[in-house]
Structure 1
Amino acid sequence: MQVVYGHHNAPAWDEAAIAIGNFDGVHVGHRALISRARELAEANAAVTVALTFDPHPSALLAPARAPRLLTSIERRIELLGEAGVDAVVVEPFTHELAGIAPNAFVDDVVIFALRARAIIVGYDFSYGQGRTGTVEALRAHGIHAGIEVAVVPAVTVDGEVAASTKIRGHLRAGDLVRAARMLGRPWDVDGTVVHGAERGRALGIPTANIRPEVELVVAPGIYAVTLRIEGGTALPAVASLGTNPTFVEDGDLGLEVHVLDWSGDLYDRRVRTTFVARLRDERKFDSVDALMAQIARDIEQARAILAR
């Protein structure tokens, strides 16, 4: 799979079926767009291309309202590749791009630079300056330019439209099951293992302190997870996302992962934490002994869940 940063650097494909979107999380709705793009690419002997944007438009235009992302740009690219695209174009979202007229965006970026033979968008797609370009306008533009435009309808899961915003809401509520159904997989986050206070090691339960690559959207608490070291296999583990209230007042939120039945050095390693099940809320214990007893119960519960 090719990864291209900016439409000016796109190779000279003969023709392309271009799926356009932010694709945060690459959920089941996004995968429906990619599937339709692959169909049109095959029908037109074209390449399947995902056009996405970084940073998220809201981070530039309305930073106070910008969402916490479900995936880093690197993970987004990886997931788009797994969905079956031949290339990902990561378009820098700048004030210049935000100010381009809708017709100019389609003509200059999508058709001329990326050589679109077909354009695939979601039912709620908007584009161009002030997001004034509509699906109806895009269809009309396609007819005029001789470009096929496919609009993919909403994908529903358990009666809800699959959307990144709704997935964030489920994760904030600690509802991993509903989030996973919309994503089509358990939610995960990549990060790097860094040095921490080493309280877990002192208690005989060493943890990896992880600096995530995106600001975490999931609710604080204790989780059954897997931890995969880059290039390795997923290992069963228990995660604590919280502030360590038994030891610290008003501590910073941190992600700590204890890998079951494993020992080794993870410092500075890149890892992926996959959230499988929520076990309980984080809480303050009256004693270290009470905390240790609960941790033992958490480990056994996680072990049972992850063995299924």
Structure 2
Amino acid sequence: MITFENIEQFNSQEPTVVTIGTFDGVHVGHRKIINRLTASAKANNLKSTILTFFPHPRMVLQQNTDLKLITTLSEKKSILEKTGLDQLFVHPFTREFSRLSALEFVRDILVEKLNAKKVIIGYDHRFGRNRTATIKDLIEFGSLFNFEVEQISAEEIDEVSISSTKIRNALNEGDIHTANTYLGYEFMLNGTIVKGKGLGRQIEFPTANLQIEENYKLIPKNGVYVVRSSIENRTIYGMMNIGVNPTVNGTQRTIEVHFFNLEKDLYGQQFQIDLLTRLRDETRFDSLDALREQLKKDKKNALAHIEKREI
């Protein structure tokens, strides 16, 4: 897959089949559309192409939005890389871009830049300034500019929309099983390991503090999770706490991971943490000793879950 960060400097010399969308999460419903895109590309000797935008349009057009995304831009690219897609365009979304008329968008972007010979799009897709143009208009533009339009059915579009909503709701409720089922893979957090207060080491459960750069990334409900990562090509399991450390009167939300069977300086390293299941809510304990005893139980439960997964 070749990724382009701006469409303005690009003119495709090869004909393409294009779909357009945010593809947040690149979940099971999205991948059905992408599979249709790549199959159509192979059958018609076209380049399979996704046109997406960053920032998310709602972040630009709705200034007070508290929108959180399932995947960061880099995570989305990584997942799309595995789908067999030929080309990904991540065009900067601005207010100026949003004011393109439907004709300008089709003529200047789809036809002149992307050389689209086929567009696969949802039946309810709207585009152009104020999103006034419909798929009917797109079909008419297709006749004018010589490209085919294939509609994605209402059922498939509803499936995509429902999946995205259910994933966000599930993550906000700590329901990792449901989120992972709709995603088709384990929900991930990517960040850098930074120094914490060292509390974990005091109670025999040293933790690596994960700092996530992207403030728009959706962080699941506070609690204790079973997680997996890869360190030097080795799969490592552990348990992770998302929360404020109420036992020591903490106020700042942190993400702390205790890896099993790992004694290594991880500071400054980039990590992907996959969330496998949720063990419990974050709880305030009467003492550090009580917290330590609970963490021992958490580790036992986590190891039992991991053993069950690997059978």
Indicate the TM-score class for this superposition, using the shorter chain for normalisation. Answer: over 0.9
Q: Which residue identity does 1:149 align to in structure 2?
A: V
Q: Contact (CA 8 Å) 1:29, 1:162: kept in 2 or not? A: no
Q: 1:134 offset after TM fit, Å?
A: 2.0
The equivalent residue for 1:131 is 131
- Equivalent runs, 1:1-308 vs 2, <5 Å: 1-10=1-10, 12-153=12-153, 154-155=155-156, 162-214=162-214, 215-229=217-231, 232-249=233-250, 251-307=251-307, 308=309
Change (3 A) 1:124 1:295: farther
Q: What amino acid maps onto 1:185 in structure 2?
A: Y
- Specify the code of the residue in structure 1 equivalent to 2:128: G
The answer to whether the 8 Å contact 2:203/2:289 transfers is: no
Write the distance in 1 (CA, Å) between the matches of 2:234 and 2:116: 39
One-letter amino acid of the structure 1 residue matched with residue 79 of structure 2: L
| Contact 2:49–2:88 (Cα < 8 Å) also in 1 | yes
Report the more deviating stretch, 94-103 or 127-136. 127-136
Kindly indicate whether the alpha-carbon contact (under 8 Å) linking 2:204 and 2:292 is maintained by their aligned counterparts in 1: no
Q: How many positions carry a matched residue from both structures? A: 305
Asked whether the 8 Å contact 2:17–2:118 carries over to 1, the reply is yes
Superimposed CA distance per residue, residues 131-173 of structure 1 (whole angstroms, 9 cap, x where no aligned partner): 222223223322332211122234499x895432331111101
Indicate how the Cα distance of structure 1 residues 160 and 29 shifts in structure 2: closer, same or farther if over 3 A, else same: closer
Tell me the amino acid that sits aligned with residue 223 of structure 1: Y
Please list the CA deviations of residues 271-293 of structure 1 after superposition, one character each: whole Å capped at 9, or x if unmatched.
Answer: 01111101110010011111111
Alpha carbons of 1:122 and 1:237: their partners in 2 closer, same or farther (altered >3 Å)? Answer: farther
Which amino acid letter does the alignment assign opposite residue 74 of structure 1? S
Mapped to 1, the partners of 2:298 and 2:104 lie a distance apart of 56
Which moves more between the two structures, 134-143 or 159-168?
159-168
Contact 2:210 2:256 in 1 (8 A): yes
Give the residue type in structure 1 aligned to 2:246. Answer: P
| Shift in alpha-carbon separation, 1:160–1:175, aligned structure 2, 3 A | farther
- Report how far residue 57 of structure 1 moved: 0.6
How many Å separate the matches in 1 of 2:263 and 2:133?
A: 55
The offset of 1:258, in angstroms, is 0.5
The aligned amino acid for 1:68 is K
Q: Hey, what's the Cα distance between the residues in 1 that align with 2:128 and 2:167? A: 26
How far apart are residue 91 of structure 1 and its match?
Answer: 0.3
Structure 1 distance, partners of 2:104, 2:267, is 48
> Residue deviations 1:9-57, cap 9 Å, x none?
3353311111211111111121122111112211221111111100001
Q: What stretches of structure 1 of length at least 5 have no aligned partner?
A: none
TM-score, length-scaled by structure 2 = 0.92
How many angstroms apart in 2 are the aligned matches of 1:142 and 1:169? 38
Alpha-carbon distance in 1 for matches of 2:283, 2:85: 44
TM-score when normalising by structure 1: 0.93
The alpha-carbon distance between structure 1 residues 160 and 82, as it changes in their structure 2 partners (threshold 3 A), is closer
> Mean alpha-carbon deviation: is it higher for 43-52 or for 124-133?
124-133
SS in 1 for 2:247: coil
Contact 2:11/2:112, CA 8 A, preserved across alignment:
no
The letter of the residue matching 2:240 is A
| Alpha-carbon distance in 2 for matches of 1:105, 1:201 | 56
Identity %: 34
SS of corresponding position for 2:52? strand
Secondary structure, aligned partner of 1:64: coil
Residue 88 of structure 1 aligns with an amino acid whose one-letter code is L
Gaps of 5+ in 2: none
Distance in 2, Cα, partners of 1:126 & 1:4: 24
1: distance between equivalents of 2:213 and 2:164? 18
Q: In the aligned structure 2, how far is the partner of 1:142 from the partner of 1:79?
A: 30
How far residue 180 of structure 1 moved from its aligned partner, in angstroms, is 1.3
